[in-house]
Structures are given as C-alpha cells and as structure tokens.
C-alpha cells in the first residue's frame, strides 16, 4: 500500500518556490487589469510566459520545462485558485502539446513544440461536429488534378478567436470510403483567395469570461499529406486521447478552485455575526463546510495518487481513472455551489463580492465537461468487457428469465454484503485504518458480485441500461477513492505529516460512508432481482412521458375528471 511522493526534498522545495512565485505574480497583476469578454488580458499572458508555464509538459529537448505530472498538478491548482479561465486556456494548450508529443512526427515536434512552449503558437483544437446541419461530416476531398480541400464546420472550439494554429479532425475521402484523419494547419499559411477560416457565433458565457468558445468554418482550405498530424491510422487514437486525457488536470483545477472558495467561506463565517452568535458557530454551517472539505480531500487524494503513479510509470492506462476523476470533480463542483449559497446566503448573488463570479465560472467549467452519461459509460464498459473476457462462458451472456431465477432460489444477501477477505489489505496499513481497509476489500468483492448479478439478469443489454451502469460506476468510484485515501493517510502518519491525525479521521469517515453506499447499491440490486421486476423501465417511462408532453405532464391536484 503506497502513496507516490517526491524522492528528493529539493524537488519539493523547487516546485513550491516556482508555484509560489507564479501565484504572487498573478496576485499582483489580476486586480489591476480590465477584462474584455472573450479575451485573455495580455498582462496575464505576459506573467504566464515569464514563468514559462506554457512549456510545462514539453520536454527540455524541445524548449519546455519538462515537469513531472505532480508538478503540473500543483501548477494547475495555483492558476485555478486565481481564475478558472487561466486553467481553461492552459489546459487547451497542454492538450495540443500532448497530442503532438504522442502522435506527431519528429519534424512536427521540432516545428511546433518550441513555439508552443514560448507562446508563439496559439492553438485551437477542432473536433466536435455541427450536428444540426444537413451534412455535418467534415470532409477532405479533391477533384482529378486538383489539390485536396478541407471543408469542415466545428463547434465549441476553445480560444479560436486569437488562434494561429488549428488541429482539425476530418474524414479523408478516398474513392467511396472515408478515413479519419487529423491535420495541423497554420492560419497564416493560407494564401489561396478561395480558401478561408471563419470564426463565427462566439458564445457569450457568464463564466470563464476571459476565454472564448466559437464555431469555426473551414472553407476549401488546401491540405496535403505533409499537414497530416502523425499517421492517418492514429486519428481514432487521437480522438480517444482528447476524450480521456487531461482529466487529472481538470480534477486539480477543481481542487484549486474549491480550496480558494472554502478559504473565503471560512473567513466569511468567522466574521459574520447573526444574532449573538458567529456564523462559524452554527452547526449546520459546520456540517456543510465539513462536507465541502471532505470532497476536496478525496478529490485531491485521487488526483495526486494517479499523477504520482504516472510519474513512476506504474500506471500505463488511465482511461477509467481519468473518467472517475472527472465525474467526482463534477460532483465536487455541485457541492461547492451548494455550500456557497448556504453559507453566504444572499451575498452569493452580490456582484460586488467574489461568490457570484465563482458560481458562474464553476457552472461554465462543468457545462463544458462531458455529460454524466458519457462518463458512466467510459467508466463501466471497459470494466464489463474485462469481466466478460476474464470469466467467459455462455452463461455470462445468457439473460436468465425471472422464472429460472425463482426456481434457483434466493441467493444469500450476506455473501454479497460481507464477502470473505482474500487479500487482507489491513495488514499493510496503519492500525487505525484497519476498518477502512476491510471495508475497501469488501467493496472490491462487491464490484465483482454486482457485475455478475446484473449480467445474469440483463445479459448483453447491460451496456444499454444507464441506471445499472450508474450502480457499477458508483462502486468503481468509491473503490478508487478509498484505496487512494487509505494509502495517503497511512503514508502521512508514517512520515509525520502535521495533520496526519486529521487525515486518519477523514479517511475512516469517508471509507465508512463509501462502504455503506456500496452496500446500499448492491442490496437494491439484489432486492430488484428477487422481486422478478425491474424498476428501470418505469423510470425511463416517466422520462418519456415528460418528453412527449414537452414538460410536466401531471394534472393539477385540484383538477376534476374530464
């Protein structure tokens, strides 16, 4: 049971010094700038360039800083605690750099990575399609004897207004077939008078006002194979990379934002007096602030756990973990918004105070995140596929009828809620965490059990049952949170961290809650199975009624028969 950490004290001192200086520079600059909606102020860009953060993940061989993942996470925390717009711009640039690092040719790396590190290149990634048009597909085609032309309509493109480098995903048409490809296009290189890149319909968002989100139209832009990013067969892998990568940075951004919000709320509660009592002495306020603090602790733990394992090359595939972090981050944002409104009250809507903009920025950040349905599928489908491949057999795919289950008798719920221990994880952690370790091992076994139950009940249709997938996702989320928190608290006590006793208490509290939630989920699944019914179609039926009625469809309680 390990929690990855820096090997040398000098590494910690260096990154703390770097992040501290960056934070001080931003604190001196941000209060004195005027913001134009949709544009990052040049003063902030100058601070970022002076501190070299654009080259954070770019190796030193290409003019970057070459930070480890843990270093980048601390950097993201710093900038996000000041302004989430800065993180959005930074994350867009890091994503572009990461794609070129992973898939670009040596020439493309030499051509673009040094410029990205210095801020010379301002990238925009164009991959989402306009789905309402008659022909939404982006196409690269050519007539006999004519150069290839790119025609595409992309939406939700971040910071396209001042971009001079576009990474564009499109289908290259060869004969009657389309092949997914990715092109890297320099805006200033387009000399053809019949070709154009048009920025239109810029969104006017209430949050993240220093960024812009636009539609980009590529009209007859000449392209050739030299502009293709990497190999043509890598386009699908690049899309997957865009969908999965950077979520640990997203989690770190939410941590930085929430730490700043929690600090402001605690100061407000300590100073605000209602009646003859400070707001901080109110038990409901203590409860909501402690819930917010616990969300920060668990999210921070998962982010640094995955980031540290990545630095040590102990984590090769992070698709599921990235999606879990993003889903938990969205939950944490909702918790933060609720806490701000409960603690600050009407002041949370006062435009003269920071809370109003905090809520707007958080909502904007979450709205541009992936929807929960996509995240749940990304978390659960790989786990289900692994289960099928591991267990195999026709019975895994067989959808057993309710009558057969009835003849088979009732399965013992105790075996599912309190399975036998196998790994004895409690022997490898601090004694105070023994109960949490046992709960974690129970939850590991429950995950296998719930997939087994749902597969026998639903068969191949499990992949399309969102509520069942939600149950699996909840257990997987709890498992990652528990293992990372146990490892962190055990390590903190061993090395003598100042608040290690609090880490032990918070970890035990969270693991107890997570274990109870996992028990509740599997008990509900078992109960549904034994009743020979499935409540999910009823839930979906209610949603269909609302959609068919275009709103709330129930009659008023005072309505008479008609």
Please report, for residues 179, 413, 427, the alpha-carbon distance to residue 435 in angstroms, rounded to integers and kept in the order given: 54, 21, 11
Instruction: Give the pLDDT confidence of 432-470 residue by residue, as tens digits.
Output: 899 899 989 888 888 887 888 787 777 777 777 888 889
Nearest CA to 149 among 81, 196, 85?
A: 196
Domain ranges of the chain: 9-120, 125-235, 246-370, 390-545
pLDDT of the residue at 551: 87
How remote is the C-alpha of 441 from its chain's centroid?
A: 26
- Domain 390-545 fold is Butyryl-CoA Dehydrogenase, subunit A; domain 3 (1.20.140)
Residue pair 250/369 in contact by the 8 Å Cβ criterion = yes
Residue 398 has pLDDT above 60, yes or no: no
Instruction: Give the pLDDT confidence of 182-207 residue by residue, as tens digits.
Output: 899 999 988 888 899 999 888 888 88
Please report, for residues 257, 393, 512, the alpha-carbon distance to residue 303 in angstroms, rounded to integers and kept in the order given: 14, 37, 21
Q: Quickly state the pLDDT bin for 355 (edges 50, 70, 90).
A: very high
246-370 and 390-545 have identical folds: yes
Angle 3-292-375 (CA atoms, 0-180°, nearest 5)? Answer: 70
pLDDT of the residue at 557: 85
- Percent of the chain at pLDDT above 70? 88
Instruction: Give the pLDDT confidence of 206-264 residue by residue, as tens digits.
Output: 889 999 999 999 999 998 888 898 776 677 778 777 777 778 999 999 999 999 999 99
Beta-carbon contacts of 489 under 8 Å, excluding residues fewer than 6 positions away, are: 430, 433, 500, 503, 504, 506, 507
Q: Quickly state the pLDDT bin for 528 (edges 50, 70, 90).
A: low
Beta-carbon contacts of 463 under 8 Å, excluding residues fewer than 6 positions away, are: 381, 384, 469
The 3-class secondary structure across 207-226, one letter per residue, is: CCCCCCEEEEEEEEEEECHH
- Name the architecture of domain 246-370: Up-down Bundle (1.20)
Mean per-residue pLDDT, 370-384: 89
Nearest CA to 182 among 230, 243, 252, 144?
A: 230
Instruction: Give the pLDDT confidence of 93-120 residue by residue, as tens digits.
Output: 999 999 999 899 999 999 999 999 999 9
CATH, domain range 125-235: 2.40.110.10
Q: How many helices (H) and strands (E) does the chain have?
A: 18, 9
Structure tokens belonging to residue 94 = 């890091």
Mean per-residue pLDDT, 35-64: 91
CATH, domain range 9-120: 1.10.540.10
Mean per-residue pLDDT, 340-350: 92
Mean per-residue pLDDT, 297-324: 87
Q: How far apart are CA 412 and CA 526, in angstroms?
A: 9
pLDDT of the residue at 184: 93
Per-residue exposure over 209-221, b if at least 16 CB sit within 10 Å of its own CB, e if not: bbbbbbbbbbeeb
Mean per-residue pLDDT, 70-79: 95
Within 13 A of 196's CA, how many CA atoms are on the CB side? 6
Residue 560 has pLDDT above 70, yes or no: yes
Mean per-residue pLDDT, 351-365: 93
pLDDT of the residue at 275: 80
Q: How far apart are CA 436 and CA 416, in angstroms?
A: 18
Residue 337 has pLDDT above 50, yes or no: yes
Q: Please tell me which residue, 444 or 303, carries the higher pLDDT value.
A: 303
Beta strand pairing call for 139-141 and 165-174: parallel
At which residue do the structure tokens 């275009």 appear?
550
Q: Quickly state the pLDDT bin for 317 (edges 50, 70, 90).
A: low
- Percent of the chain at pLDDT above 90? 48
pLDDT of the residue at 530: 52
Helices 500-530 and 283-311 meet at what angle, rounded to 10? Answer: 90
């Amino acid at each position: 049971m390990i929690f990855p950490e820096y090997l040398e004290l000098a590494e910690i001192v260096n990154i703390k010094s770097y992040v501290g200086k960056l934070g001080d520079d931003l604190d001196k600059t941000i209060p004195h700038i005027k913001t134009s909606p949709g544009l990052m102020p040049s003063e902030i860009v100058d601070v970022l360039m002076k501190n070299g953060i654009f080259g954070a993940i770019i190796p030193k061989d290409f003019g970057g800083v070459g930070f480890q993942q843990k270093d980048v996470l601390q950097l993201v925390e710093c900038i996000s605690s000041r302004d989430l717009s800065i993180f959005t711009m930074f994350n867009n640039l890091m994503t572009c750099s990461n794609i070129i690092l992973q898939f670009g040719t040596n020439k493309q790396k030499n051509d673009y990575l040094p410029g990205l590190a210095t801020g010379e290149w301002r990238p925009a990634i164009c991959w989402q399609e306009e789905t309402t048009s008659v022909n939404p597909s982006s196409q690269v085609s050519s007539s006999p004897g004519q150069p290839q032309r790119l025609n595409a309509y992309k939406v939700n493109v971040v910071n396209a207004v001042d971009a001079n480098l576009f990474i564009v995903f499109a289908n290259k048409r060869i004969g009657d077939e389309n092949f997914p490809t990715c092109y890297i296009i320099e805006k200033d290189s387009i000399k053809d008078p019949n070709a154009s890149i048009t920025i239109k319909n810029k969104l006017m968002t209430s949050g993240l006002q220093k960024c812009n989100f636009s539609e980009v139209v590529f009209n007859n832009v000449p392209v050739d194979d030299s502009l293709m990013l990497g190999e043509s067969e890598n386009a699908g892998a690049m899309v997957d990379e865009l969908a999965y990568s950077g979520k640990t940075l997203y989690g770190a951004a939410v941590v930085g934002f929430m730490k700043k919000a929690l600090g402001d709320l605690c100061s407000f509660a300590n100073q605000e007096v209602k009646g003859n009592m400070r707001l901080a002495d109110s038990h409901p306020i203590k409860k909501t602030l402690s819930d917010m603090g616990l969300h920060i602790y668990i999210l921070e733990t998962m982010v640094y756990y995955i980031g540290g394992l990545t630095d040590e090359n102990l984590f090769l595939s992070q698709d599921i973990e990235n999606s879990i972090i993003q889903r938990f981050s969205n939950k944490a944002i909702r918790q933060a918004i609720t806490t701000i409104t409960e603690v600050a009250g009407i002041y949370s809507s006062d435009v003269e105070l920071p809370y109003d903009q905090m809520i707007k920025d958080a909502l904007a950040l979450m709205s541009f995140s992936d929807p929960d349905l996509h995240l749940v599928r990304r978390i659960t489908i790989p786990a289900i596929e692994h289960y099928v491949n591991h267990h195999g057999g026709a019975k895994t795919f067989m959808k057993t009828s309710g009558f057969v289950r009835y003849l088979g008798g009732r399965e013992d719920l105790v075996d599912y809620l309190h399975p036998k221990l196998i790994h004895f994880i409690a022997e490898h952690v601090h004694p105070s965490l023994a109960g949490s370790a046992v709960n974690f091992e129970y939850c590991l076994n429950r995950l296998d059990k719930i997939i087994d139950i749902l597969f026998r009940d639903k068969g191949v249709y499990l992949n399309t049952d969102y509520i069942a997938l939600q149950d699996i996702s909840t257990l997987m989320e709890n498992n990652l949170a528990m293992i990372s928190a146990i490892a962190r608290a055990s390590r903190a006590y061993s090395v003598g961290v100042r608040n290690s006793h609090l880490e032990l208490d918070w970890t035990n509290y969270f693991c107890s809650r997570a274990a109870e939630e996992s028990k509740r989920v599997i008990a509900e699944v078992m109960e549904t199975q034994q009743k020979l019914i499935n409540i999910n179609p009823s839930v979906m039926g209610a949603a269909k009624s609302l959609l068919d009625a275009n709103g709330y469809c129930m009659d008023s309680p005072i309505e008479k028969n008609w």
